[in-house]
Structure 1
Amino acid sequence: MDPNFWLARWENNHLGWHQEKAHPLLVTHLQEIVDGAASRIFVPLCGKTLDIGWLLSQGYQVVGAELSEIAIQQLFEEASVAPEITAIGPLKRYSAPQLDIYVGDVFELKQSLIGPVDAVYDRAAMVALPAEMRQRYTQHLAGITKRAPQLLISFEYDQDVMQGPPFSVPHADIAQLYGDNYAISLLSDQDLTGGLKGICPAREQAWKLAQK
């Protein structure tokens, strides 16, 4: 998908995916992925999600990646935190206590930059990518996080009714994308209240991906 699509959404404040509280599946299931409050969590394509504030409030350290600098500027402004900003090659790093966000193309992000992470929380990244990009993304994520366990949230719905994003990623695709690197467990599978964007019925799933 053209990065300009997402940059334009932020520039025009078309943020239909943004939620006003921490995601219930994160709150319910994170403890099944991480061992303790000192854990460092990687959040790919994080935007300005309130999930970050919730993770910080629970004592976790957070490292994120996001394409849009507008999103990260708003994240820090809304938290009333002044970040330290550092240019690192094609990326920028926004830093504050317990929090580092890398702005730019996630495929430019190296393991040496993000450092050790104990878990990955992917609510918005994999479902934002069209099918032809997912294999590259999942392999890249496994590499830069050294196959850290993941809490992955996905959707399943009829793409003849709605094309996405967010895209439908059915169970068979999850198995194909992650099966080589992770043991996959379904934690939750439920109807999405009101359907997806109010357009079509959908199911929302939470997955635990544990290193084999």
Structure 2
Amino acid sequence: MEHEFWNQRWENNEIGFHEREANPALVQHFHALALAEESRIFLPLCGKTLDIGWLLEMGYRVAGAELSEIAIKQLFEELSVTPEVSDIGELKHYSASNIDIYGGDIFNLSAEILGPVDAIYDRAALVALPEPMRTRYTTHLMEITRQAPQLLIAFVYDQSLLPGPPFSVTEADVKRYYDDSYQLNLLESKAVHGGLKGKCPAEECIWLLNREEQV
């Protein structure tokens, strides 16, 4: 999606995708990553998700990437934290205890800037991108995280009934993007209560992606 699209959504407070509690799938399935306390988790296209607060409360460190400056400022306000802000190339780095958010285009984020991460939690990034961008995104994500394991949340529905985002990402799609690099495990598939945006039936799919050598 174009930068203007997402910036406009935040400026107009059109953020129906923002959940008002930690995502139940995260709470239920995060343990599957089998991470040690204080592990560093990367959230691509993180917005101001309350999942970040949940992860911090659980004793993890968090890194995120987000295009919207509005979202980042609201995130730290809601965490009651004042970050230090610095420029790194074309990105802004918002830093506080156990949290680093990189503001700007995720494709300007490198492995060197991001630093080591132990896992990826992708709830709203892959499904936010139209199909032509996903291969570029998934390749870049694996590169900057050095192929860290992932907890991935996707939706499957009849794309002709709803334009997206979130877009439909099928099992075949997940395999196309990740099967060469990870062992894929579908942890759960369940109907979205009331349908996606209340408009069409959909399944929410929670995937665990582990590096082959971890299995």
What's the TM-score once normalised by structure 2's chain length? 0.97
CA contact under 8 A between 1:68 and 1:104: conserved in structure 2?
A: yes
- Counterpart of 1:60? 60
Alpha-carbon distance, 1:2 to partner: 1.1
Q: Which moved more, 1:128-137 or 1:32-41?
A: 32-41
- Counterpart of 1:168? 168
Instruction: Give CA deviations for 1:112-159 in whole Å, capped at 9, x if unaligned.
Output: 111110000000000000000000000100010011100000000011
Q: CA–CA distance in 2 between the matches of 1:187 and 1:66?
A: 27
Instruction: Give CA deviations for 1:37-76 in whole Å, capped at 9, x if unaligned.
Output: 1210000000000000000000000000000010000001
CA contact under 8 A between 1:68 and 1:103: conserved in structure 2?
A: yes
CA contact under 8 A between 1:34 and 1:119: conserved in structure 2?
A: no
What's the TM-score once normalised by structure 1's chain length? 0.99
- Counterpart of 2:72? 72
Q: Give the secondary-structure state (helix, strand or coil) at the position aligned to 2:146.
A: coil
Alignment of structure 1 residues 1-212 onto 2, 5 Å: 1-212=1-212
Output the amino acid matched with 2:8: A
Output the amino acid matched with 1:71: A
State the number of aligned residues: 212
Gaps of 5+ in 1: none
Instruction: Give CA deviations for 1:71-100 in whole Å, capped at 9, x if unaligned.
Output: 000001111111100011100011110000
Q: Give the secondary-structure state (helix, strand or coil) at the position aligned to 2:165.
A: coil
Gaps of 5+ in 2: none
Instruction: Give CA deviations for 1:91-112 in whole Å, capped at 9, x if unaligned.
Output: 0011110000000000000001
Alpha-carbon distance, 1:36 to partner: 1.4
User: Identity over aligned residues, as a percent?
Assistant: 58
